[in-house]
Amino acid sequence: MSKAWRLHTKPKLSKKNKLEDKVTNELIRRKIVAIGWTLREDIYNELTNEDKIKVEENEKSIKDDFEKYKEIIEKNSYKTIKDDKRKFFYGKVNPNLIRLNNLKKDDLIWMRSKGIYYLGRVTEKSHYLYAYRDSKKDSDILKLGISNQFTDIEWHEIGTESEIPGRILIAFYQREALIEIDEKFVVDISQILYNKKDNYYKISNELENNKTNFYGLLSPNDCEDLLYFYLYHKFKYIVIPSTNKINTQNYEFVMLNSNNRDEKKYIQVKNGEVNIEINNYKNFRGEIYLLTTRGNVLKNGKILTKNNIDMNNGKILNLDNSFKGNIFIINPEALYEFAKEAYENESILMPHSILQWFEYLK
């Protein structure tokens, strides 16, 4: 079964040499996936001349033999000019390299550069390659920090952030160089998007139209917009634009009752398995609307039960006097149904960034 991966394309060496903006173009040109941890990093400059020569000879012997690379890294020690013994990368192969070597035929890899997202497919010819060369022709490999490679990747440009599913965007928040996005939904939508460029995968180019897939397609910003248009449609609440630019921990933006400008509505949105604690809202005056698409709303760390929620409007019941406002839980299922209705009914205001995903949900 195919897997989906996310690649960061700013190795430390590329940053050091101020070449990070060139990495993606080089990967596409060479048709590779690549990351750093070359043997010319870490302790190389501290080695004695004798051990430097040994490392250089060993480098040339690695070629497409990942086990040879591991053997060099895990060697007991190397002698430095300070007459002490040290190991490359503390004698441990970086987990990103192990993941790189685990790529399989038909796996898909996401990367981005300057706001553009690319999707690559591992082919039947793809294999590991340690690509250090002394020749001037390949000197940029070392400067760019792309010595550990996986070859023969078919790359395609997919588009800007507005055209990329939210779950894939979120994967770029993580710091590791190469990670698997371990969700079947991500594999499915990645194959569908790849097929738009190269009709390779023998699959249905549609996803099941359900809540889980829908929210997986939405970015965090899409979720905020969806809740805003839902509240506007239902209550005619309107947003205060400047509040959407404030970096606050407990709310995304503030809305007003269009019939009473003194009534503030605070909005908190979490897309994914993220919990929200209502004790964070004790001092908020007005109404607080909470949405977590796959998480839970908590009180004192415990999940609120149906007995504590008015099932008609989502209002949290039995709050003590320490709470200055009223708190409402938005049902993600109801919000999903509203989005489906908006897709069919053009009279309902909804941005294209949300509606576009129903083209894949059938």
Asked if 91 contacts 74 with a C-beta cutoff of 8 angstroms, the reply is: yes
Quick one: pLDDT at residue 12?
Answer: 76
What percentage of the chain reaches a pLDDT higher than 70? 98
Compute the mean pLDDT over every residue in the chain, rounded to the nearest whole number.
Answer: 92
State the Cα–Cα distance between residues 243 and 260, nearest whole angstrom: 18
- What confidence category does residue 157 fall into, taking pLDDT thresholds of 50, 70 and 90? very high
- 180 strand-pairing partners: 5
- What confidence category does residue 138 fall into, taking pLDDT thresholds of 50, 70 and 90? low
pTM, entire model: 0.90
Mean pLDDT of 211-235: 95
Q: Looking at this protein, which amino acid is placed at residue 69?
A: Y
Q: What is the pLDDT of residues 277-301, one digit of tens each?
A: 999 999 999 999 999 999 999 999 9
- What confidence category does residue 123 fall into, taking pLDDT thresholds of 50, 70 and 90? very high
- What confidence category does residue 145 fall into, taking pLDDT thresholds of 50, 70 and 90? confident
Tokens at residue 272, please?
């994914």
Quick one: pLDDT at residue 306?
Answer: 86
Q: Looking at this protein, which amino acid is placed at residue 314?
A: G
Number of H helices, E strands in the chain: 12, 18
Q: What is the pLDDT of residues 8-40, one digit of tens each?
A: 998 777 777 777 788 999 999 999 999 999 888
Whether the predicted pLDDT of 220 surpasses 60:
yes
